[in-house]
C-alpha cells in the first residue's frame, strides 16, 4: 500500500493533511484493514477542542471499538456527516474518507509525526 506523501501519520494509525492553519484528519488504510468492516463512527461536535495524542472519537467495526487519537491539537471546524449513514466509506477509501477538519492550535506539532515512508516502515515492523 502506498501512503500519500502529503499526509503525516501517527503510530495509532491516523493521518493528517495540513493546509496552513487548517487540517483534515482520517484513519489510515492499515487501520481500516485491521478493523475490518466499519459499522459506526463517533465524532466530536463542531467547536470541540481536541488535544494531540488524546482520543477524539471512536470507530466501531464488526471486530472491535477503537479510539481515534488526534495527531494535533485544535478546534473541530467540520465533521464528515456522510459517515453517520455510510461508515463503510472509510473501508472503501481510507485516505479520502476524512473524519474531521480542525483549525490547528500549533501547526508545528505535526512536525514530530511520521512521514509516509516512516509510517510504511512502522507498519511493516508491526507485522
Query: What are the backbone dihedrals phi and psi of residue 29, each rounded to the nearest 5 degrees, phi first?
Result: -55, -45
* pLDDT tens per residue across all 127 residues of the chain: 689 999 999 999 999 999 999 999 999 999 999 999 999 999 999 999 999 999 999 999 999 999 999 999 999 999 999 999 999 999 999 999 999 999 999 999 999 999 999 999 999 998 6
Phi then psi dihedrals of residue 26, to 5 deg:
-150, -175
Tell me if 68 sits within 8 A of 58, measured CB to CB. yes
- State residue 126's pLDDT score: 81
CA distance 8 to 60: 23
Q: What is the value of pTM for the model shown?
A: 0.96
Query: Residue length, the chain?
Result: 127
| CATH architecture of the domain with range 8-119 | Beta Barrel (2.40)
Q: Is 64 exposed, middle or buried (0-12, 13-18, 19+ CB in 10 A)?
A: exposed
φ and ψ at 31, to 5 degrees?
Answer: -60, -50
pLDDT, residue 2, reads 86
Three-state DSSP state, 10: coil
Residue reference for cell 493533511 = 17
Amino acid at each position: 500500500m502506498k501512503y500519500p506523501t502529503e499526509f503525516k501519520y501517527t503510530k495509532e494509525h491516523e493521518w493528517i493533511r495540513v493546509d496552513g492553519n487548517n487540517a483534515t484528519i482520517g484513519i489510515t488504510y492499515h487501520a481500516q484493514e485491521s478493523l475490518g468492516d466499519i459499522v459506526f463512527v463517533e465524532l466530536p461536535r463542531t467547536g470541540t477542542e481536541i488535544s494531540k495524542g488524546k482520543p477524539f472519537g471512536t470507530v466501531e467495526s464488526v471486530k472491535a471499538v477503537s479510539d481515534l487519537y488526534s495527531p494535533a491539537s485544535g478546534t473541530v471546524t467540520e465533521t464528515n456527516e456522510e459517515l453517520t449513514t455510510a461508515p463503510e466509506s472509510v473501508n472503501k477509501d481510507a485516505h479520502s474518507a476524512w473524519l474531521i477538519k480542525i483549525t490547528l492550535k500549533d501547526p508545528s506539532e505535526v512536525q514530530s509525526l511520521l512521514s509516509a515512508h516512516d509510517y510504511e516502515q512502522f507498519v511493516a515492523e508491526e507485522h
